[in-house]
Structure 1
Amino acid sequence: MRAKKKVMCLALAALMAASLPGCGKAISKPKKGDSVAPSLNTAPLTSEQKLLETGVCKPVSSTEPSRFGFETHLNVNGIDVDGFYRQNEIHFTGKNYAQVKGVLTFRGDNYRSSGSYGVANMTSYKLAKAWNIDTGSLKKTVKKGEWTGSGWTGQPLLVQWDDATRKAMNLYDSKKNKSGLVEVIYATMDGNIYFLDLDDGSATRPKISLGFPIKGTGSLYPNGIPLYAVGAGDDMGKKAARTFLVSLVTGEVLYEYGAEDPFSIRTDNGNFCAFDSSPLFDAETDTIIHPGENGILYTMKLNTKWDGTTLTIDPAEIVKWNYKTNRTGNDTYWLGMESSACAYDHYFYICDNSGDLMCIDINTMELVWSQDIVDDSNASPVLEVDPATGTAYIYVSTSLHWTANKRKTGDIPIFKINAATGEIMWKREYSCKTVDGVSGGVQATACLGENNLSGLVYFNIARTGGKKHGKFVAIDKKTGGEVWSVDMKYYSWSSPVAVYNSNGDGYIILCDSDGNMHLLDGATGKVKDTINLGKNIEATPAVFNNTVVVGTRGKKIYGVMLK
């Protein structure tokens, strides 16, 4: 009788295991898209909805900011003003952001469209650990515990300096003299900025200690001037979180901003302030643009001077924009911008903690339109220009936070939105669970397919199919229909990265909370290879040709080869 019970128990356990997403494997075989039809707007676009033709963003009745109770305020050089117009206008030209080789900001450019540079030609389609280095931890001062390793979004920056700049910086002599050096610049939650050789992980120069945990991703000046900006992810004792502008010539902090800013009107969550957003630089006007979780959008003209030997900045025309809505100002919906913004020409698109997607004219600092995206968005909006329809579109999703029910479950939306007007083109939903402080839903930024993947956009959904599980989906950009999906045994906050070979065939790098890195065929979802890096990978990888770099919560930074 006991033997029969044992057999029955084993059979039942096997049946239960088979029903769990990805059980037995970290990621399942791809499945055809589900039958759930998205909410789809099929109306033909009018001329006013075609941003590429008009060059103008304007609201429709459903996206008028007044509908959501928006109040905005401006401050220029410490004085409150009623209006502003930038003398040197900002106009981003396409997504040609970086003027040197590499990945210089979160997701590579002002569209937030790619975390990879170059070509990844593979023969065996395998992942191989090439090198690793140790990072550390930083004791929390606001709450108990430690900040360990690399967190969300935690993407490294990769840059190939020109010869003259490389030799002018405080690199070790062997690295100064290494032609073609690609430097990894990685700020982590132990409060340090690490500088590594992409080839072998060896140090290129002394690390810089900022003393604050860095959860987000920094940015480099896009034309190769050795200036680096990065924001703190939390306060440290009596020192408030802030953003640092760092000279990579000397390793000195040249300027700080954002700490205990009196222009902030955020009062919820203990007046929380952090700078996880990755700023954008406009090299043409020498301007930095940076949203903060204190509810302030900062822009400032840096007056950068770089003669090939000495780097100085003298920030001026410091413009601050803040806002509040019907939903902000209490602990029901928090104020502030945690994700990174994307930009088209002089329009700046940013999500916030209160479930708003906002379009701001960066030259006038006026709010143009706003769309209700329902919940707290930690994922950055991603922009794509579509000449066929004459406009640009934004792909975005949210975490499951404010809209979760008492059982900590709910549906999270995924949107395609017209960048001209803020109108929803399609919307689909996924059921998720959430955990206080470790949210479910979409924390990762979408990945836009290009080349042979140009019809697809990829989303990484956490805590769906179970509290520990996840799902990775390929969605048809035009229809919002799910083309294929894979179930993940372990959820993921890490943003997926696409790489392409010389033929334009695309593959996806996908990391998860169990420390797995997966290589997928981007067209079919077939898993080509998986390796384990030991601990949770919240951070987002960056790729230079065939080398992937990512940090883990296990206090390691890895270089991984695409073979």
Structure 2
Amino acid sequence: MIKVLKLTVIYGIVFLLGYLGTGITLYYLKPGVKMLPEFVENILDGGETWKVQYPETGDLTMFDQQVLNPEAHNPEEEILFTDDYNSKNGIFCFRGNAQRNAPARGLLKGKPTKIRLDWEFTTGYDGRTTEYGSWGGGSGWTGQPLVVKWPEKTALRLFGMDAKFAKQRNFREVIVGSLCGDIYFIDWKSGQATRPPVSIDNPIKGTVSVDPRMNGLLYVGQGIKNGDRFGAYVFNMFTGKEIFFRSGLDPKARRNWGAFDSNSLIDAKSGYWFHPAENGQIYKTNVSDNREIPQAAIFNYRISKHPDLGIESSFGAWNNLGWFGDNGGNVFCLNLMTMQPVWYLDNFDDTDASMVIDLQEDGHPFLYTGNEVDKQGENGKAYIRKIDGLNGKEIWNVSRKSTNTKVGGRVNSGGVLASVLPGKKKANRLVYGIFSRVNGSMAGEFVAIDKLTGKEKFSIPMDFYSWASPIDLYDQAGNCYVFFTDVYGTIYLIDGVSGKIIYKEKTDCVWESSPVAWGNRIVVGSRGRKIVSFVIE
């Protein structure tokens, strides 16, 4: 009996060593093969949150897909979008990082009690009439400003930079695209122009992107055709010149519309630039320097159930995974290395709200998004949804009845167009969202939802609807405050945990654009001709 027991133990140890040895070998040589327990893999990768992901693939039979120009990318080269995105030096993209969940920097000085207007910057005005009306100036949806804290040596290299700004202590520059077609550069503190604007001579509705490598590259998407060109642009800010143009009217695309409202992201390590388009394609381009940009590998797809193509929402990314939503209501996860889909989800209707990624304590990614009321007709339901980012399964949803009718001769969609905002610090159990045109009205509703249970903690009736995304602000004690706006000029500041309104004021602006903040200063654009800065006191 003792002999049998000894042999059993010996063979068990041999099997375990062989199993672990084989598993460890495959872990390094073929990382896509998973045979080790998760806790062993966590030990091998050091417990790091940031690593290449190989989630189980879902049912993808609904996709008719191809990768055009596959030779233009290396599908084995690592893509790792972390939560940093050079955050110490500013806000380089829509919502502040690749997970689209960090629209502010710094801390508030003390408990806020009121908001005052500090400066206004006047943009140009484009009165030309397009097929879709006249766009004027200022900024629209999403129209978020960027804020970059340039090192002095880099700032002095920027074309046309006024040295008095570059040499000031803690110089920060606001960069914002306008509906008049110009991209403006503004001093964060004073609201004065720091250097001459650059222009695409066509309306810019979305948010521009600055390369987080701080190599001088500026990426701009066109919103409406008002000239010969229709597409995406790259500027070299050291020379002040356009160095690249990509036409959105691609003959291989499955939709003949050339806009690029979606905000692009750049992986700083590999240099890959990802830009979704409203022609239904996703472009992956290796931008290794600021002189020459090669052709892109292109994800080209169609889904028969919801064939309306076009990506206007900004995609979220975490490690090598990207999450996308389109005009048909298709939401899917894409492996950004291989450019192959991982899972698919029906989001009921047009998806313009950005894909927001929130990591739980164990590092598991969850996706927050919402849908418009558009394809449903004049009346329908809008949902804010929490989704497991690795498999596409819904965790919970919160809904409102919303309307979609014409305003001023144009279709005005209700539902969720503002990005969902995950709370942090003392508000880390909450997530915030805005429903537009609720219950047959022109009003909006701000809601706070428990992240884990999906139960509503509080809601705030808004005077009018809002497409602009809210931002979260924190003091040194970790208390959360949320700032948001509505389309007819009201600004709101609330306690993020209790929902108490701290400050509310009607202004003379039309707010569609999403704000940003650093410390006590907020910058936001409005329709018309204004970029505005508020200070929280």
> Which interval holds the TM-score relative to the shorter structure?
0.7 to 0.9
State the percentage of identical aligned residues.
31
Report the 3-state secondary structure (helix = DSSP H, G, I; strand = E; otherwise coil) of the residue aligned with 1:452. Answer: helix
Q: Does 1:410 align with 2:395?
A: no
Q: Which residue, out of 424, 427, 435, partners 2:397?
A: 427
Which aligned pairs between 1:507-546 and structure 2 lie closer than 5 A? 507-546=481-520
Q: Which residue, out of 199, 223, 234, partners 1:245?
A: 234
Which aligned pairs between 1:29-428 and structure 2 lie closer than 5 A? 55-60=53-58, 64-66=59-61, 69-76=62-69, 85-92=74-81, 94-98=82-86, 100-138=88-126, 139-170=128-159, 171-237=161-227, 239-266=228-255, 271-304=256-289, 312-316=290-294, 318-329=296-307, 334-388=308-362, 391-404=364-377, 408-428=378-398
Q: In the TM superposition, what is the alpha-carbon distance from 1:244 to its structure 2 partner?
A: 1.0
Q: In the TM superposition, what is the alpha-carbon distance from 1:272 to its structure 2 partner?
A: 2.3
One-letter amino acid of the counterpart of residue 128, structure 1? R
One-letter amino acid of the counterpart of residue 393, structure 2? E
Report the 3-state secondary structure (helix = DSSP H, G, I; strand = E; otherwise coil) of the residue aligned with 2:153. Answer: helix
Report the 3-state secondary structure (helix = DSSP H, G, I; strand = E; otherwise coil) of the residue aligned with 1:205. Answer: strand
1:451–1:504 CA contact under 8 A, matched in 2: yes
Partner of 1:309: none
Partner of 1:25: none
Q: Which runs of 5+ in 2 are unaligned?
A: 1-36, 43-47
Tell me the alpha carbon deviations over residues 453-473 of structure 1, each in whole angstroms, 9 at most, x when there is no partner. Answer: 100010111001442111000
Tell me the alpha carbon deviations over residues 114-139 of structure 1, each in whole angstroms, 9 at most, x when there is no partner. Answer: 21011122345211100001124322
1:511–1:537 CA contact under 8 A, matched in 2: yes
Which moved further from structure 2: 457-466 or 118-127? 118-127
1:515–1:552 CA contact under 8 A, matched in 2: no
Tell me the alpha carbon deviations over residues 357-387 of structure 1, each in whole angstroms, 9 at most, x when there is no partner. Answer: 1111111111111101111010001001113
* Residue 89 to residue 465, structure 1, CA distance change in 2 (3 Å): same
Instruction: Provide the C-alpha distance between the structure 2 equivalents of 1:144 and 1:225, rounded to a whole number of angstroms.
Output: 36
1:434–1:467 CA contact under 8 A, matched in 2: no
Greater length-normalized contact order (CA 8 Å, ≥ 6 residues apart): 1
2:306–2:329 CA contact under 8 A, matched in 1: no
Q: In the TM superposition, what is the alpha-carbon distance from 1:101 to its structure 2 partner?
A: 1.7
Q: In the TM superposition, what is the alpha-carbon distance from 1:254 to its structure 2 partner?
A: 1.1
Larger Cα Rg: Structure 1 or Structure 2? 2
Report the 3-state secondary structure (helix = DSSP H, G, I; strand = E; otherwise coil) of the residue aligned with 2:206. Answer: coil
Instruction: Provide the C-alpha distance between the structure 1 equivalents of 2:276 and 2:438, rounded to a whole number of angstroms.
Output: 30
Report the 3-state secondary structure (helix = DSSP H, G, I; strand = E; otherwise coil) of the residue aligned with 2:196. Answer: coil
Q: In the TM superposition, what is the alpha-carbon distance from 1:341 to its structure 2 partner?
A: 0.7
Q: Which runs of 5+ in 1 are unaligned?
A: 1-45, 305-311
Tell me the alpha carbon deviations over residues 22-51 of structure 1, each in whole angstroms, 9 at most, x when there is no partner. Answer: xxxxxxxxxxxxxxxxxxxxxxxx979x99
Aligned residues: 487
* Residue 438 to residue 47, structure 1, CA distance change in 2 (3 Å): farther
Tell me the alpha carbon deviations over residues 409-448 of structure 1, each in whole angstroms, 9 at most, x when there is no partner. Answer: 1111221100110011112221111124211001100011
Report the 3-state secondary structure (helix = DSSP H, G, I; strand = E; otherwise coil) of the residue aligned with 1:179. Answer: coil
Report the 3-state secondary structure (helix = DSSP H, G, I; strand = E; otherwise coil) of the residue aligned with 2:275. Answer: strand
Report the 3-state secondary structure (helix = DSSP H, G, I; strand = E; otherwise coil) of the residue aligned with 1:204. Answer: strand
Q: In the TM superposition, what is the alpha-carbon distance from 1:552 to its structure 2 partner?
A: 0.8
Instruction: Provide the C-alpha distance between the structure 2 equivalents of 1:300 and 1:160, rounded to a whole number of angstroms.
Output: 26
Instruction: Provide the C-alpha distance between the structure 1 equivalents of 2:481 and 2:63, rounded to a whole number of angstroms.
Output: 42
Q: In the TM superposition, what is the alpha-carbon distance from 1:336 to its structure 2 partner?
A: 1.3
1:547–1:559 CA contact under 8 A, matched in 2: yes
Partner of 2:21: none
2:108–2:474 CA contact under 8 A, matched in 1: yes
Tell me the alpha carbon deviations over residues 278-332 of structure 1, each in whole angstroms, 9 at most, x when there is no partner. Answer: 100111111111111111100111121xxxxxxx332236211110011354xxx
2:335–2:342 CA contact under 8 A, matched in 1: yes
Q: In the TM superposition, what is the alpha-carbon distance from 1:185 to its structure 2 partner?
A: 0.4
One-letter amino acid of the counterpart of residue 249, structure 1? F
Partner of 2:24: none
2:233–2:242 CA contact under 8 A, matched in 1: yes
Instruction: Provide the C-alpha distance between the structure 2 equivalents of 1:555 and 1:122, rounded to a whole number of angstroms.
Output: 32
* Residue 396 to residue 157, structure 1, CA distance change in 2 (3 Å): same
Which moved further from structure 2: 293-302 or 463-472? 463-472
Report the 3-state secondary structure (helix = DSSP H, G, I; strand = E; otherwise coil) of the residue aligned with 1:174. Answer: helix
One-letter amino acid of the counterpart of residue 485, structure 2? C
* Residue 319 to residue 210, structure 1, CA distance change in 2 (3 Å): same
1:359–1:369 CA contact under 8 A, matched in 2: yes
One-letter amino acid of the counterpart of residue 318, structure 1? A
Q: In the TM superposition, what is the alpha-carbon distance from 1:178 to its structure 2 partner?
A: 1.9
Q: Does 1:476 align with 2:450?
A: yes
Q: TM-score, normalised on structure 1?
A: 0.83
Q: Which residue, out of 548, 556, 562, partners 2:522?
A: 548
One-letter amino acid of the counterpart of residue 396, structure 1? T
Instruction: Provide the C-alpha distance between the structure 2 equivalents of 1:400 and 1:90, rounded to a whole number of angstroms.
Output: 35
1:100–1:159 CA contact under 8 A, matched in 2: no
Report the 3-state secondary structure (helix = DSSP H, G, I; strand = E; otherwise coil) of the residue aligned with 2:184. Answer: strand
